[in-house]
Amino acid sequence: MRCLVTGVAGFVGSTLAERLVALGHDVFGVDCFTDYYPRKNKEANLAKLRSGPRFGFEELDLAVADLGPVVKGMDAIFHQAAQAGVRASWGKTFETYTSCNVLATQRLLEAAKSAGTIERFVYASSSSVYGDTTDLPMRETSRPRPFSPYGVTKLAAEHLAELYRENFGVPTVSLRYFTVYGPRQRPDMGFHRFIARLLRGEPLPVYGDGEQTRDFTFIDDIVEANLLSLNEGAAGVYNIGGGSRVTLNDVLATLGELTGKEVALDRQGKQPGDVRHTAADTSRARSELGYQPVVSLRDGLARQVEWMRANPEAWG
């Protein structure tokens, strides 16, 4: 199978591309190297892929490039590219989010429709579409009410995927990721920042009281969900969670144990756009895709700590 992976230099994109190549697929990756975090981190993510014959790459911006030649001959598209970050999506930077998350997705869907050969278009959505709800666990049928501009753009792109599936037959699947972590996690994300600071002996910035909860999902389980989306009959929207909903305070205690470091906290105020709780109902993904997370939170955190110890240049 020939697979296009957008955002291939990122955390999820590069890990997914490596897995596809290992399974014998040919992968063509694209990335525009936005400056949200250092390019050197993304280049490092691509190093293993670039060394193999089954991987091709082009640097381009999905919002402006001619996507016809990019999509031509592809069997599957894994659309991982996006401008990430809840807290950075306010104010003047919102224009970047609309371009990278909404316009780029619409243009890629249009190219997929025109190609007529795509067997599956997998869109990386987000639990941010649900917003700050008390209706837990979050279900695909729950009313989406984004609590940040980032969440608004992810939901808009998800709606576009549904529109192209229902109107033009583009075989789209949208996976709502719940807080992805693991080796190569973006340097702005919580676990990465916490581990790096612990290893350096620095206090950890914590927003709010630490009793907020998240449904944390290890990267390997996210990759597996993408692969399962290729199964016959997969269509529409699925929650992809890890089944590891715990408080931030519990995570910090575990990281202290795994690193052998004292956890010193720098308490800060709640940030705009941050939600109190997330929890995924994954019953639809389990019944229709066969999805079942297998990596426990403690094991996943241990693997991320090990990776960061071995890659201090990625700490930021």
Residue 305's SS3 state is: helix
Closest CA to 183 of 11, 5, 313: 11
CA 165, distance to chain mean position in Å, is 22
Q: At what angle do helices 11-22 and 39-50 cross, to 10 degrees?
A: 0
Residue 189 backbone phi and psi in degrees, to 5: -85, 155
Phi–psi pair at 210, nearest 5 degrees: 85, 0
Confidence (pLDDT) at 87: 86
Domain 2-181+217-243+279-294 sits in CATH at 3.40.50.720
Instruction: Report which secondary-structure segment, H or E, holds 45.
Output: helix 39-50
Tell me the pTM. 0.97
For residue 307, give the 3-state DSSP assignment.
helix
Per-residue tokens: 306:
């090990």
Residue 153 predicted with pLDDT over 90: yes
Write down the pLDDT at residue 132. Answer: 94
Mean pLDDT over 110-136 rounds to 96
Tokens representing 133 are 């709800």
Chain segment 228-251, per-residue pLDDT in tens:
999 999 999 999 999 988 999 999
Pull the structure tokens for residue 139: 């279900």
Task: Write down the pLDDT at residue 85.
Answer: 87
Q: Is the CB of residue 33 less than 8 Å from the CB of residue 59?
A: yes
Q: Which pLDDT does position 238 carry in this prediction? A: 98
Residue in 230, 222, 220 with CA at minimum distance from that of residue 282 = 222
Which of 198, 179, 205 lies closest to 267, judged by CA? Answer: 205
167-179 pLDDT, tens digit each = 999 999 999 999 9
Cα gap 60→186, rounded to integer Å: 20
Catalytic residue, chosen from 150, 177, 181, 291, is: 150
CA-to-CA distance for 96 and 229, rounded, in angstroms? 29
Neighbour tally for 165: CB within 10 Å:
18
How far from the centroid of its chain's Cα atoms is residue 238's Cα?
14
Whether 150 sits among the annotated catalytic residues: the reply is yes
